[in-house]
Structure 1
Amino acid sequence: MFIIAGLGNPTREYEGTRHNVGFDVIDRLAVRYNIDVDVKKHRALIGKGMIAGQKVILAKPQTYMNLSGESIRSILDYYKVDPETELIVIYDDISLDVGKLRIRAKGSAGGHNGIKNIIAHVGGPVFPRIKVGVGEKPPKYDLADYVLGHFSKAEQELMEEGYEDAVKAVEMIVSGDISGAMNEYNRKKKEE
């Protein structure tokens, strides 16, 4: 079983913001695989289903971004899932161009507070993750204001491609091919 957790902030005011791209990918997975993500458990909205022949739990922690690890730890404990092989975390990354992906089997938080909290709660940076680029913060912008801001129309079009790529990457990872996902989606940036 895989836990696929998309990071974001609950409540309407955060919908469609850069910081909520993890939620947006979960929403697209839910539609693609007909999984209702509407059960409130483990301080998250969760839904059970199948992707690529594997049982999955789609999760949108409702703890606010910086406390995401509390919810994810609870889900991992309840379902007895190994974070090194059966957890996928999807979140925003300001060091990547809009809509681009970077997939890692493990790694540091890279300054992302939601990931710092997950690392603290799961006992290390040992879980696979899909970073979705939201573009670099413009000079003199406040970081919080930037990540809680919305995409322009042109950026939204690039994000739609990124969301689709993230869905395909999840499919590859749950099929047991994280190396293939990294080769496919980490390479795309270099080609362009």
Structure 2
Amino acid sequence: MKLVVGLGNPGSQYAQTRHNVGWLVVDEVARRWGAVWRKEKDAEVAEVRVGSAAGAKVLLVKPQTFMNASGKAVGPLLAFYKLGGDALLVVQDDLDSPFGLLKFRLGGRHGGQNGVRDIIRVLGTPDFPRLKIGISRPPAGWDPADWVLSRWRAEEVGTLAELVRLGADAVEVWAQAGLAEGQARFNGTDLRPKPEPAPQPEPGAAGAAYAGPRDHH
């Protein structure tokens, strides 16, 4: 059994906000495998077997405690299923990564993400894997607390859908093959628009402008 925790806030008013991208990813995994969400302790959970009927058994988790108290939902579930931090994957939004980036990371500081902060507090260690999905720093004049609770912009929706799809793929790879394989396959993910290449001169154009040396005799 492995636990995949998507961080977010309960309530329809938060469903399409940046802070809830972790929920979008675990919802996509549940949808793929036909899992049904049920209430358990301070969370909604859905059980899937990734890959096949005999595949990796994964409990998807959406804490119902609000972001700042995510550890209150995660800690008891780990204890109940007798799991350590290596069996836990937290899917989170990441202010310090540009929107369009996705990467796995093991341990490290919480980076101001209050759900991760509370899970570290409850577990007493930062040493658990995370799948970090970039939401970018806020534009000038925005408070970070307002930015993470803001809704996705229309021009971001296409990239968001691809990030969620890749995030679900990454969860499945982690569950079946482990963190190192997940890092190798997904840590180069960058969906940011690529700059247009500089126009190249037409073949022969440079030569056509040069008629060769003149004969001055």
Report TM bin, short chain. over 0.9
Q: SS of the residue aligned with 1:107?
A: coil
* Structure of greater Rg: 2
Q: TM-score, normalised by structure 2?
A: 0.83
**One-letter code of the match for 2:46?**
G
- The separation in 2 between residues aligned to 1:63 and 1:181, in whole angstroms, is 29
- The separation in 2 between residues aligned to 1:190 and 1:100, in whole angstroms, is 6
What is the 5 A alignment of 1:72-83? 72-83=74-85
Partner of residue 24, structure 2: 24
Name structure 1 gaps, 5 residues minimum.
none
Q: What whole-Å deviation, never above 9, does each CA across 1:77-121 have from its counterpart, x for those lacking one?
A: 1111111x2111001011222232121122210111111100011
Q: SS of the residue aligned with 1:175?
A: helix
Cα offset for 1:190? Answer: 10
Q: What whole-Å deviation, never above 9, does each CA across 1:48-81 have from its counterpart, x for those lacking one?
A: 1211311111110000001001100011011111
- The separation in 1 between residues aligned to 2:30 and 2:183, in whole angstroms, is 23
Q: Does 1:54 align with 2:56?
A: yes
**One-letter code of the match for 1:40?**
K
- The separation in 2 between residues aligned to 1:56 and 1:174, in whole angstroms, is 7
What is the 5 A alignment of 1:95-114? 95-114=96-115
Name structure 2 gaps, 5 residues minimum.
195-217
Q: SS of the residue aligned with 1:164?
A: helix
1:99–1:163: 8 Å Cα contact kept in structure 2?
A: no
**One-letter code of the match for 2:183?**
M
1:66–1:117: 8 Å Cα contact kept in structure 2?
A: yes
**One-letter code of the match for 1:2?**
K
What is the 5 A alignment of 1:27-46? 27-37=27-37, 39-46=38-45
**One-letter code of the match for 2:48?**
G
More helix by share: 1
- The separation in 2 between residues aligned to 1:99 and 1:29, in whole angstroms, is 19
What is the 5 A alignment of 1:27-176? 27-37=27-37, 39-52=38-51, 53-83=55-85, 85-176=86-177
- The separation in 2 between residues aligned to 1:31 and 1:58, in whole angstroms, is 11
Q: Does 1:12 align with 2:12?
A: yes
1:20–1:92: 8 Å Cα contact kept in structure 2?
A: yes
1:99–1:160: 8 Å Cα contact kept in structure 2?
A: no
Partner of residue 211, structure 2: none
Q: TM-score, normalised by structure 1?
A: 0.94
Identity %: 35
State the number of aligned residues: 190
**One-letter code of the match for 2:75?**
R
Deviant stretches of 4+, over 2 Å? 188-192
Cα distance change, pair 190–28 in 1 and its aligned pair in 2 (3 A): closer
Q: Does 1:2 align with 2:33?
A: no
**One-letter code of the match for 1:62?**
Q
